[in-house]
Amino acid sequence: MRGRAIKLSAPRRLVGDLMRFSIGVPRVAVQRQMNLGPLVRARMAQQTRPSWTAIFLKGYALLALEMPELRRAYVKLPWPQLYEYPASVASIAHEREYDGEPAVLLSCIKCPERYSITELEGSIHAARSRPILEVPEFRRALRMAGAPAPVRWLLMWLGLNIARQRANYFGTFQLSVYSGLGAESLNPLTPLTTLLNYGPIGNDGSVNVRIHYDHRVMDGANVARALDRFEKILNGTVANEVVLLGQGVAAPARRRNAT
């Protein structure tokens, strides 16, 4: 059958490169069905409700503050080893339009545990609404997409395996969700140590939450315990912060412990 060839656009090259380095990661998923009733009730009581993306981002950042395994990465330079970062860098996937087609682009937030939910929501909104070329991470990625494939692949391999630079360019964990569209991804890929996603959230607070993790860095039991603790953080510290937002009280900017 005669069809037509379509040249790979910059967004498709970016996704292809990301998948090239993600496919070799021995990734496993652990899922927990959570009951986030207290958090849902706290959010529903607010006149202006914070986004679920910002809420989950804050909770996971607090979890990673407690669990150093979530701040580690497997790197190959100067030899295979694990590298632990002192703080998290969140990598958040956004769907934007670029040159007339949907493009998945990643923005980073350094030390998200230090920011309030309102501040995180502001950063996420800026990445979703500002002109694409005004977002530094988007501009850098699209510029990289214009380079020849061998150059892109070499630079990406170096960026992922030079430990001190990896978090600056790629982050320590990724957040990617479709729950707002009534769907959930069962097998997302990322070159990072963990990827957090969740499905649609019921009115009673029931939701499936998954951590997809690099088995070279940690084991399933660690992740299962992390999900249990994550549920407690969301229904405790994070729900309390949502209540404070409704009262016009700012949460501490540099919280160190989650209860």
pLDDT digits 0-9 by tens, 172-208: 999 988 766 776 777 889 999 999 999 999 999 999 9
- DSSP one-letter code for 234: I
Which residues are registered as beta bridge partners of 101? Answer: 98
Contact by Cβ (8 Å): 94, 125:
no
pLDDT band of residue 250 (cuts 50, 70, 90) is: low
| Integer CA distances (angstroms), 55 to 175, 208, 217, 244, in order | 12, 15, 26, 13
What is the three-class DSSP state of 210? strand
pLDDT exceeds 70 at position 252: no
Give the pair of three-digit tokens for residue 195.
Answer: 């990827």
pTM of this prediction? 0.91
Instruction: Note the CATH architecture for domain 10-246.
Output: 2-Layer Sandwich (3.30)
Tokens 């069962």 sit on residue: 186
- Domain-by-domain residue ranges, the chain? 10-246
CB atoms within 10 A of CB 180: 11
d(CA 22, CA 32): 23
